Amino acid sequence: MNRPSYIVMFRWVVWREIVLAWRRKSDVLSTLAFFVIVVSLFPLGMDPDSRVLRTIAPGVVWVSALLASMLALGRLFASDYADGTLEQMLIAPQPLGLIVAGKLLAQWLVTGLPLVLISPLLGLQFGLSTEGTRLMAVSLFAGVPALTLIGAIGAALTLGIRGGGVLLALIVLPLCIPVLVFGAGGNMALVGAVLALTVVFAPWAAASALRVAVE
């Protein structure tokens, strides 16, 4: 199979996932609403001292982004598994890892990117400086895709398992701790390193898990 066919398939998968997400806008909006609500509750329930709020802001936003990302992971492959689309993807001439990568890019565009875009507004509640808000947004821009990629492996491993949501959280949350620590600490070099590693390996690891789930 030549390279143009790979590109066409990748673009088709991304476009398909975006269209499906648009038809299920309530799922996307619920994820964003959860993120906004969780972040907004912390300033209301804590000491109003601006120094304290500025100190905890990156950690609060990062934990909220991680939990919001977890909400979307359960739907990542579930509908394709239920309606038989996943089986058709398995027998497609293009590598399954490429198809998974397209789904993950679409997932980032419809859920991850909006989280990043609204994070500076939420940072204002904590009295963050312009530089602090910028650093937080940049770290999320690199870190949230890594969370999605790691989560995709867990979503594939727990696909079709009863009570898979709880198992998914038990698998994914420990793996996301390094990203959470590096991102909340503003260590962009390490966040970028984790992102590069997950971009290379996560789609293919998720594809292998999907094959096992279908078989």
Token digits of residue 86: 């996943």
Asked whether the predicted pLDDT for residue 62 surpasses 90, the reply is yes
Asked whether the predicted pLDDT for residue 51 surpasses 90, the reply is no
Token digits of residue 148: 């999605």
Q: What is the pLDDT of residues 88-124, one digit of tens each?
A: 888 888 889 999 999 999 999 999 999 999 999 888 8
What is the residue extent of each domain of the chain?
Answer: 3-214
φ/ψ (deg, to 5) at 20: -65, -40
Asked whether the predicted pLDDT for residue 48 surpasses 80, the reply is no
Q: What angle do CA 54, 59, 60 make, to 5 degrees?
A: 85
Asked whether the predicted pLDDT for residue 23 surpasses 60, the reply is yes
Q: What is the pLDDT of residues 143-200, one digit of tens each?
A: 999 999 999 999 998 887 876 778 888 889 999 999 999 998 888 999 999 999 999 9
Spell out a b/e string for 185-200, using b for 16 or more CB atoms within 10 Å of the CB, else e. eeebebbeebbeebee
